[in-house]
Structure 1
Amino acid sequence: MAGKVYIGVSGWRYEPWRGNFYPRGLAQARELHHASRQFNSIELNGSFYSLQRPASYAAWAEQTPPGFVFAVKGGRYITHMLKLRHAQAALGNFFASGLFALGPKLGPILWQFPPNLGFHPAVFEEFLSALPRTTAAAAKVALGRDHRLKGHELLEPQHRQRLRHAVEVRHPSFVDPAFIALLRRYQVAWVVADTPQPWPLYEDVTADFVYMRLHGATELYKSRYTGEQLDRWAACIDAWRRGGQPQDARLVSFEPPPAAGQRDVYCYFDNTDKLHAPDNARELMERLGLPLTPSAAGRWTP
């Protein structure tokens, strides 16, 4: 038995993709519809830059097939401006802004931290403990919203489910077994982030799922992954989805993760600038034997 595997790209609106990944003449309003028939998941990153609206989330859900999943990026106002401090109202705004309109297509929530934010145990303990683990708990957090939504809010979950959270760190102080232990305590995934920048690249398993972001192995956001590199990532995913970990895993902590018979894996390519992300995602799907299109019933079955 193995966990589900979701592979896709980070975002879907990129000018260079038009006439390349997207068929020439495809209306921009149809781009998500097209992309969601090529991948079983996409990372929704507009939510990082600003609060979205329920109507937008509902439209995105409507355009994608059954079984499709969105990963949703947490707001940079929380992570980059407030730096997690005094964030109760901001968290309320985020969860009230329309995420519930995705229904069962709401996947993990990604919290990306800036390179100048280091590991402060008390701050991260408070933040991780405040993250809701179910849509019912998220609805309670949403009640703490403030005036910024101006009536554009959705407070009632349309689908009851667990919520998963993942964190991407970019400061060397997080290379600390204490941080790995903290993530495991709250069942939050350490993001496996591949990048040529001097950001931490480790592969510790800290939750019942694994979250990957592949930014480009040699040139940030640009370089294409070679067949050999994709072979290794495929082997890693295969180990993780079966509840294990790669023999050559790069680890912060040598304390083993909690035993698991299987784990779901979410993997997003962010090497977008030179059109490589869609190709690399499809190549990785092939290596893992994942379906390259929805079933005849129009449903993704990862």
Structure 2
Amino acid sequence: MSIHIGIGGWTYEPWRGTFYPPKHPQKRELEYAGQHLTGIEINGTYYGSQKPESFANWAASVPDGFRFSVKASRFCTNRKVLKDGAASIGKFLGQGLTQLGDRLGPIHWQFMATKQFDRDDFAGFLDLLPDSQDGLPLRHAIEVRHESFRDPAFIDLLRARNMAVVYADSDEFPCIDEQTADFTYARLQRSREEVETGYDAAALDQWAKRVRDWAAGDRDVFLFFIAGAKVRNPAAAQALIARLRDSG
């Protein structure tokens, strides 16, 4: 069992002087983030391919035990017919992300809010997601944003494949609170700018308890503070990490 708490990306100008120390070299921001967080969701991969050397450099910048999740390309998920996306999935997985090695966490597959549940098409899509790439085991986290996915058939599809449904704590999208894999993937999107740590103490205590509950039974947990008051997300992640560390 391992718990990884972090943020989306590591390059964001308002974090300079709030999360990163003043005048900290930009080329060393990932190194700094790796020393203060335990995970990062790479979002740039959603918009375009990266070089294998970039993944290798990112892996070398963070300590043992750190994990990156990788957001899948929009060309894989923003499709009318999902099960026809084999070529796009292959291109995404083959771009060199396995250069992350043991720093690779789950692949995050996010669908648009307009995408509705079609069992046959979705099952065909899930069947395209491999268990490994270049000999490296893969885990898959599926984020859906339409109410039609509150369907036992969708949950059954994920459980049969040991794929996690993303727990999305959001004001905009439905939250499907189901454990469908041997790991949990959560994205928290309610941080508030007027609160120095993004979430107040009571909320952070509640999230720490939720994480411990998720981790019971040797389930790995990946939790990222995304959106909301983005400037506060590193502080929220650090505050939650501290609570989990202090509780043993």
- TM bracket (short chain): over 0.9
Gapped regions of structure 2 (runs ≥ 5): none
CA contact (8 A) 1:188 1:207 kept: yes
* Residue equivalent to 2:203: 229
C-alpha distance in 2, partners of 1:290/1:167?
A: 31
Q: Which amino acid aligns with 1:192?
A: Y
Aligned mate of 1:170, from 140, 145, 148: 145
Q: Which amino acid aligns with 2:213?
A: A
Q: 1:290 to 1:110 in 2, by over 3 A?
A: farther
CA contact (8 A) 1:83 1:117 kept: no
2:131 paired with 1:181: no
Aligned-pair CA distance for 1:32: 0.6
2:126 paired with 1:125: no
C-alpha distance in 1, partners of 2:228/2:17?
A: 15
2:16 paired with 1:26: no
* Residue equivalent to 1:74: 72
2:214 paired with 1:216: no
Q: 1:211 to 1:229 in 2, by over 3 A?
A: same
2:206 paired with 1:206: no
> Tell me, what secondary structure is at the counterpart of 2:23?
coil
RMSD, matched Cα: 2.0
Aligned-pair CA distance for 1:66: 1.9
> Tell me, what secondary structure is at the counterpart of 1:201?
coil
- 1:245-284 alignment, distance < 5 Å: 262-271=218-227, 273-284=229-240
Gapped regions of structure 1 (runs ≥ 5): 139-156, 244-261, 292-301
2:96 paired with 1:110: no
Aligned-pair CA distance for 1:4: 0.9
Aligned mate of 1:100, from 98, 109, 125: 98
C-alpha distance in 1, partners of 2:102/2:230?
A: 32
C-alpha distance in 1, partners of 2:230/2:128?
A: 39
Point out the structure with the larger strand share.
2
> Tell me, what secondary structure is at the counterpart of 1:115?
coil
Deviations for 1:251-296, whole angstroms, at most 9, x for unmatched residues?
Answer: xxxxxxxxxxx200000001464521011111111111179xxxxx
Equivalent pairs, count:
245
* Residue equivalent to 1:142: none
C-alpha distance in 2, partners of 1:26/1:231?
A: 31
CA contact (8 A) 1:196 1:218 kept: no
2:12 paired with 1:17: no
Q: Which amino acid aligns with 1:216?
A: R
C-alpha distance in 2, partners of 1:271/1:87?
A: 28
Percent identical pairs in the alignment equals 43
* Residue equivalent to 2:34: 36
More deviation, 78-87/60-69: 78-87
C-alpha distance in 1, partners of 2:192/2:23?
A: 33
Aligned-pair CA distance for 1:217: 6.0
Q: 1:24 to 1:217 in 2, by over 3 A?
A: closer
Bigger Rg, which one: 1
Question: TM-score, normalised to structure 1's length?
Answer: 0.77
Aligned-pair CA distance for 1:201: 1.1
C-alpha distance in 2, partners of 1:195/1:218?
A: 13
> Tell me, what secondary structure is at the counterpart of 1:275?
helix
C-alpha distance in 1, partners of 2:80/2:31?
A: 35
* Residue equivalent to 2:171: 196
Aligned-pair CA distance for 1:83: 5.5
Q: Which amino acid aligns with 2:239?
A: E
Q: 1:171 to 1:277 in 2, by over 3 A?
A: same
Q: 1:217 to 1:36 in 2, by over 3 A?
A: closer
Aligned-pair CA distance for 1:211: 0.3
C-alpha distance in 2, partners of 1:284/1:274?
A: 16
